Chain A
Amino acid sequence: DIQMTQSPSSVSASVGDRVNITCRASQGISRWLAWYQQKPGKAPKLLIYAASALQSGVPSRFSGSGSVTDFTLTISSLQPEDFATYYCQQANSFPYTFGQGTKLEIK
């Protein structure tokens, strides 16, 4: 199975900050990577697919980059509603696997 490792596991930031979350795959996955946001008690929400494509309706402050094994989710200017847990997910091969999550907290 492909292991997905996110860093950091948690991060504290302030409104207006720029935040980067990284995701590393244990083997090459081309650009078959998605990013999700999850708030407590809610289902995950798709933000980015195919490494850098913005899902419809997602604010443009969210962006994705990377390929093969190293990927980054960037939030350019944090808003209060962005404090949540973020997950990456590979779709290169079965079983699809997720990273362990990055909890973004208010500083």
Chain B
Amino acid sequence: EVQLVESGGGLVHPGGSLRLSCVASGFAFSSYWMNWVRQSPGKGLEWVANIKRDGSDKDYVDSVKGRFTISRDNAKNSLYLQMNSLRAEDTAVYYCASGELDFDFWGQGTLVTVSS
């Protein structure tokens, strides 16, 4: 059974940092592009970043460029999102999702709240 399990969310002050993790099981993690997608409370979906199978290529939405860094460790079947200089507008549920063009498997999400 495919599973993606996110962790690392929580309450952080504006300007603070947080590192999200996503552990994969049940599929060949190293063969898949991986993504972070977020959803603000009561709002729609926003693609945040993705990373190629071997980690050699990454892309980000403009609003997080220079603040967020996506990475992966294929030996640990894990995906990460380092989030720095957090803002109130980064408050959202963050999902990890597999796939290059569309997202076929999703985790349950982890909530990040940026508030003073």
Contacts and interface: CB of A to CB of B under 8 A. Distances in A.
B54 interface: no
Contact of B62 (A38, A42, A95, A96): A95
A100 B44 contact: yes
B95 interface: yes
Report the contact-size class of chain B (Cβ under 8 Å from the partner): 20 to 34
Interface string B18-42: 0000000000000000000100000
Nearest to B100: A91
B104 A87 contact: no
Interface of B: 37, 44-47, 50, 59-62, 95, 97, 99-104, 106-109
Interface of A: 1, 32, 34, 36, 38, 42-46, 49-50, 55, 87, 89, 91, 94-101
